[in-house]
Structure 1
């Protein structure tokens, strides 16, 4: 393919923009806030499960307390009736003895229920305290996540602002290179995973250590300046800047 020296230089401009844009894209996808947010969300999920379990246990204990209250009330009412009858001396000796035994049983039952009630109240208090602490922790985590989101958004906005001038530069270079050469460059860059064109100073590829065979170097050296030259091994477009003696090939 034929390409003027100016068009070939435009490829290097495009490559520089693409390399910088790729780095910005990588940075935007690997911001430290992303990992931190994921970690905090994991903690939020765990605490949310803990909160739900604690609330369910608290609700069960509160229902049990209500039942105990009812049982204590009914038993106390029964005890009062029996005590009043006993004090009034109603019934014969056998009835009085039987009632006395029932009164003792009711008093023991009330004592047991009150003890169970006390234990359940303590359990509810502990669960309530745990729920309050979990809710506080969740609130703090939510605040941290919000702060991280804000930091990430600011970072992304900064990266976007850095990207826009590069996008504009690339568009300008595309106009110089032309549609056909741009398409060739993009296809090569896609095939190689990011590199479409490199600068060649004599036999040295800028920023790399690459050895050319004698046959390939002869092909490169003798190609006209408006001939698009590609690497045999790497496919890249080799934009010749200087010849082997250091003279400018593309002015």
Structure 2
């Protein structure tokens, strides 16, 4: 294949634009901000589960507390009725009086036990309420952090897209200056290797980074300026420049 030296040099500019586009696309796929958003999404999901569990536990303890307090009220009411009978002198039989006094004493003990249960439930409720508040606050912080990370991700993605659009426009302009057959060969090689054209830089191919043999360099020195060369190792288009060391 033949192509004017200036067209071959322009191919390096096309490759530079393609590399910049590929680099921008890689950055877009691997944004640190996107990873941060994914991590925060996972954290938020975990915290929401914990928040539901904390609210459920608090609701269960509330029911337990209401029942315990109701039990205390029932025992207290019964004891009050017994005392009222006792104070009103409604019991005349010594045996019945002894039984009533014994029942009042038993109810007092039972009330004390139930009040201990209420205190224990109240302590557990206080701990559960603190846990629910802590999880809720942590969830709010995570959601706020996620919102900020999403804003940073959007800003970074927009910046990359602007860069990619600029390079695509530049690439389109440059490609118009390259002959169709040369551009087609370059495109084929770029699709295969990621890099379709590379400069010969002081005897080394910038595509594969390997030094060319003495024999190959001798052949290149003898080749016409418009001959399209290929690297003997990586088979990419090899473009001669003022820094080729020939």
CA distance 1:91–1:10, shift in 2 (3 Å) = farther
Q: What corresponds to 2:84 in structure 1?
A: 84
Instruction: For 1:185-204, list aligned pairs within 5 A.
Output: 185-192=186-193, 194-201=194-201, 203-204=203-204
Corresponding residue for residue 13 of structure 1: 13
What is the count of residue pairs matched by the alignment?
245
Unmatched segments (≥5 aa) in structure 2 = none
Matches within 5 A, 1:34-113: 34-87=34-87, 88-90=89-91, 92-113=93-114
| 1:199 and 1:238 in contact (8 A); partners too | yes
Q: Describe the SS at the equivalent of 2:241.
A: strand
Deviates most, 194-203 or 232-241: 194-203
Match of 2:26 in 1: 26
Task: Point out the more displaced range, 201-210 or 178-187.
Answer: 201-210
Q: Give per-residue Cα distances to partners, 1:81-133, cap 9 Å, x unaligned.
A: 22233333436332222222222111111121122112212322232222222
Is the CA contact (8 Å cut-off) linking 2:199 and 2:244 kept in structure 1? no
CA contact (8 A) 1:33 1:151 kept: yes
Q: Which residue of 2 aligns with 1:216?
A: 216
Distance 2:151 2:244 in 1: 53
Q: What is the root-mean-square deviation in Å for CA atoms of aligned residues?
A: 2.7
User: Pairwise mapping of residues 168-187 of structure 1 onto structure 2 (< 5 A)?
Assistant: 168-187=169-188
Greater displacement, 29-38 / 10-19? 29-38
Q: Is the CA contact (8 Å cut-off) linking 2:205 and 2:211 kept in structure 1?
A: no
Superposition misfits of 4+ residues, deviation over 4 angstroms: 206-209, 242-246
Partner secondary structure for residue 240 of structure 2:
strand
Q: Which runs of 5+ in 1 are unaligned?
A: 247-251
Q: State the match for 2:225 in structure 1.
A: 225
Q: How far apart are the structure 2 equivalents of 1:144 and 1:72?
A: 47
Q: Is the partner of 2:51 in helix, strand or coil?
A: helix
Deviation at 1:16, TM superposition (A): 0.5
Give deviations 1:197-217, integer Å, cap 9, x for gaps: 012256344598532224433
CA displacement, residues 170-197 of structure 1 (integer Å, 9 cap, x when unaligned)? 11222222444333222212322x2110
What TM-score comes out, normalization by structure 1 length? 0.83
